[in-house]
Amino acid sequence: MRKQPALPVFLLITLVQIAGAQEQQTRRIGDLKLESGEVISDCVIGYRTFGNLNPGKTNAVVFPTAFSWRSADLAGRIGPGKLVDSEKYFVIAVDSLGDGISSSPSNSKIQPGLNFPQFSIRDMVNADQRLVTQSLHLPHVRAVIGFSMGGMQAFQWVLSYPGFVDKIVSISGSPQLTSYDMLVWRAAQLALESDPDWQEGRYTRQPALHLMNMVQTLVLQTPRFVVTNTSRQQYQQFESELVQGADDLDANDTLRQIQALLTADVTAPFAGSLPTAAAAVRAKTLVIVSNQDHLVNPLPSIEFAKLLHAPLIELESDCGHRAVSCEMKRIGAAVAAFLEN
């Protein structure tokens, strides 16, 4: 869900250079075999780069997108004094599978709509790694940074490609979904599939997804934040904004990303053991969570950080999952210090 009322929204602007953001680029990475055994045919990955790669190729930072975000939405987080400094680092903002820029149900000519196979967080990471190594020719990256679904990808990077990444930063992400997370995302999926315009994925106009967006808004911020920032008199306008707009993901793209989130679990190859998975991590890790996050429960990340003996920052903001926006100054300072040390 891209609409986020009561907080600033990053507008999607493609193929235009703004605020230091580079133009949208895409690379074909060939057929991508998925965990399921299915294949995304002629897979395309979108990305934007910020800053310059140093002569030793030691300052690359991969920044995967959050759920329903695109690389253009990350532009406001990249630059001097922001989440990652493009004057120091060569930042690669990568469009995750299913975002409508990288290969997705909405843009695949070979596998359109729900003929497009389901993919996982691990599949997203595999696609990004192929982009980084085969298309951008980087043998190693300094760091992977992400929030929400991007933070989940950061955790997966260090287990899928040990030794390839020096450091990761996961912000409001999780190494594995809790039962509550599954409840939230399954409710969002069922709300999407119940939309009268969805037509079992064979729609001719984009569904409004009003109910799905209401479900997500219930957990995106805390009740206190919503009550404090939206009066009773403002409610009708508030609810009216919870319908799909021109910048939102295609409904089938959204469905495939939700399905990827529902299977997020870095422990799958380790018999479901978080301690065993932690023992395989070789990269330095910074974990940032919001203790009032109702969308991505913080407990698995807190446990993983303790198992890794990694620095852990616990935010207490009423912004809930959107603490990454409300406390950007504190988060940015912590990330800058972590990357430098």
Which residues are CB-neighbours of 297 under 8 A, at least 6 positions away?
174, 177, 178, 180, 181
Which residues are CB-neighbours of 254 under 8 A, at least 6 positions away?
1, 68, 98, 192, 209, 212, 248
Q: What does the alpha-carbon distance between residue 118 and residue 34 come to, in Å, rounded to a whole number?
A: 9
Rg, Å, the chain Cα set: 19
Q: What does the alpha-carbon distance between residue 49 and residue 135 come to, in Å, rounded to a whole number?
A: 13
Q: CB atoms < 10 A from the CB of 135, how many?
A: 15
> pLDDT in tens for each of the 341 residues of the chain?
554 433 333 222 233 333 344 899 999 999 999 999 999 999 999 999 999 999 999 999 999 999 999 999 999 999 999 999 999 999 999 999 999 999 999 999 999 999 999 999 999 999 999 999 999 999 999 999 999 999 999 999 999 999 999 999 999 999 999 999 999 999 999 999 999 999 999 999 999 999 999 999 999 999 999 999 999 999 999 999 999 988 899 999 999 999 999 999 999 999 999 999 999 999 999 999 999 999 999 999 999 999 999 999 999 989 999 998 899 999 999 999 999 98
Domain ranges of the chain: 25-340
pLDDT at position 8 is 33
pLDDT at position 11 is 27
Q: What does the alpha-carbon distance between residue 302 and residue 288 come to, in Å, rounded to a whole number?
A: 9
pLDDT at position 14 is 30
* Structural contact between residues 170 and 288, judged by C-beta atoms closer than 8 angstroms: yes
Please report the DSSP string for 99-167 in residue order: SSSSS-TTT-SSS-GGGSPP--HHHHHHHHHHIIIIIS--S-EEEEEEETHHHHHHHHHHHHSTTTEEE
pLDDT at position 154 is 98
At the top level of CATH, the class of 25-340 is alpha beta
Q: Which two tokens stand for residue 339?
A: 């990357």
* Structural contact between residues 288 and 313, judged by C-beta atoms closer than 8 angstroms: yes
The pTM for the full model equals: 0.92
193 by Cβ neighbours in 10 Å (0-12 / 13-18 / 19+) ranks as middle
| Closest listed residue to residue 104, CA positions, set 90, 91, 92, 115 | 115
pLDDT at position 1 is 54
Q: CB atoms < 10 A from the CB of 93, how many?
A: 29
Judged by DSSP in three states, 314 sits in strand
Q: What does the alpha-carbon distance between residue 241 and residue 11 come to, in Å, rounded to a whole number?
A: 15
* Structural contact between residues 46 and 71, judged by C-beta atoms closer than 8 angstroms: yes
pLDDT at position 103 is 98
